[in-house]
Amino acid sequence: MRGGAHTLAPMLHCGTDGGMTSDPLPAFDPQRFLRHGVGGHGGLLALTYHAHGPDWVELHLPYRAELIGDPDSGVLASGPILTMMDMATSLAVWTRLGRFRPHATLDLRIDYLRPATPGKAVFGRGECYRITRSISFVRGQAHDGDPTDPLAHVAGTFMFTDAPVEAPVEKGA
Amino acid sequence: MMLPPYAALLGIAHVGGDDPTLLTMPSADTLLGRPGYLHGGAIGGLLEMAAIVALRSALADDGGGQIKPINVTVDFMRGGREKPTFARGTVTRLGGRVANVEAIAWQGDAAKPIAAARMNYLIVRG
C-alpha cells in the first residue's frame, strides 16, 4: 500500500481501489498539494507549507500587524492560529490516510500556553493520530521558533463527508 | 467598543442598534475554506471577537481589568455559506479571576447556529 506508516489506511482505501494491487495512485503529498500556495482564508493569512512526515504537517504563518488581537501587547489573535491549526491537522489526516477525502471539522480546542511573541512567525504542526470509518482524531502544537516551547496546544476531530467506507472486500469476493 | 486589527482584516463590525454585543462578518472570498464554504478558522475568529466584546462589556460594568485567553473550544454544526454571518457572546460567569464565556454564530436563522464556542479567560483586575 501507500507507505507503511499508517496501518489504518488500507481499509479506508477500498472506496476507490479496493483489492487493487497494481499501479497505486501516488500517496497524498501535502507539499505538492500546497505548491501553488493557499487560496481563500489561508491565502489571506499567507499560510505556506513548511514540513511534513507520515502523519503530520507543519505550516508557516508570517507575523503581520493585521493579525493582532490585543493592540496593547501586539499579541496575535487566536483566529489566525485556529485557521492554521485547522488546516495543518486537516492536511495531516490526508497525509496519514494517503489520499484526499472530503471532511469537515467537528470541533477544535486550543489551549493557549503562552502569548505569541510580537514580530515572530508562528509554525503550526498538526498530527493525525487515529482514523476510523467516519472520524479522524487530531492534535497539534504551535510554536514561534522553538518547538520545545509551544505557545498553543490543539485537539480536535474531523468527520468524513463522503459515503461511509465499508470493510475491505477481498478481490473476487 | 474598538475592535482589534484582526477584526478589521475579517471585516467584522458591530451591527449597532441596542445590542452592543452583536457582531457581523460579511461574505468574502478571503474568508473561504473549501469552495462555497467559510473557513472554520474565520468562523472561529468571529466567535472569539464576539466573546471578547461580551467579556469586555461585562468587565467594564464590573470594575474593569485585563483579559488573557486560557482556551477555546469550537463546535462546527453547519457549513457556513457565502452570506453574512452574525455572532453574539454571552458571559456565563464572571468571577474574580476567571470568566466563562460562550459565543454562537449563525446565518439567517439564529435558531440554526453554524458554530458555537466556549472560552475561558483569566482576568487580571486593575
Parallel/antiparallel/unpaired status of strands A135-143 and A152-160: antiparallel
What are the structural domain ranges in chain B? Answer: 5-125
What pLDDT was estimated at residue A136? 97
Tell me, what DSSP letter sits at residue A164? P
Interface confidence, given as ipTM, is 0.91
Number of domains chain A contains:
1
B71/A110 touch (CB, cutoff 8 Å), yes or no: yes
Q: What's A50's domain CATH number?
A: 3.10.129.10
A110/B32 touch (CB, cutoff 8 Å), yes or no: no
Containing structural domain, residue A58: 29-160
B8/A110 touch (CB, cutoff 8 Å), yes or no: no
How close does chain B come to A75, measured CA to CA in Å? 11
What pLDDT was estimated at residue A24? 64
A78/B72 touch (CB, cutoff 8 Å), yes or no: yes
**Nearest CB partner across the interface for B45, out of A77, A102, A111:** A77
What pLDDT was estimated at residue A135? 96
**Nearest CB partner across the interface for A82, out of B8, B31, B41:** B41
A68/B41 touch (CB, cutoff 8 Å), yes or no: no
pTM over 0.90: no
Is residue A88 within 8 angstroms of chain B, CB to CB?
no
CB pairs under 8 A between A and B: 115
Residue from B31, B74, B81 whose CB has the most chain A CBs within 10 Å, to mutate: B74
Is A166 contained in some domain?
A: no
**Nearest CB partner across the interface for B30, out of A44, A71, A112:** A44
**In A, which residues are within 8 Å of B8 by CB distance?**
66
> Is B5-125 assigned to CATH 3.10.450.50?
no
pLDDT at B113 over 90: yes
Distance CA A128, CA A151 (A): 19
Q: One digit per residue, pLDDT tens: chain A, 173 residues?
A: 333 333 333 333 333 444 445 566 678 999 998 888 888 899 999 999 999 999 999 999 999 888 887 777 777 788 899 999 999 999 999 999 999 999 999 999 999 998 888 889 999 999 999 999 999 999 999 999 999 999 999 999 999 999 776 655 555 53
Is residue A83 within 8 angstroms of chain B, CB to CB?
yes
**In B, which residues are within 8 Å of A113 by CB distance?**
none
Specify the amino acid at residue A39: G
B5/A65 touch (CB, cutoff 8 Å), yes or no: yes
Is residue A102 within 8 angstroms of chain B, CB to CB?
yes
Note the pLDDT tens digit of each residue in B4-22: 888 999 999 999 888 889 9
A67/B9 touch (CB, cutoff 8 Å), yes or no: yes
3-state secondary structure string, chain B? CCCCHHHHHHCCEECCCCCCCEEEECCCHHHECCCCCECHHHHHHHHHHHHHHHHHHHHHCCCCEEEEEEEEEEEECCCCCCCCEEEEEEEEEECCCEEEEEEEEECCCCCCEEEEEEEEEEEEEC
**In B, which residues are within 8 Å of A102 by CB distance?**
34
Distance CA B88, CA B56 (A): 13
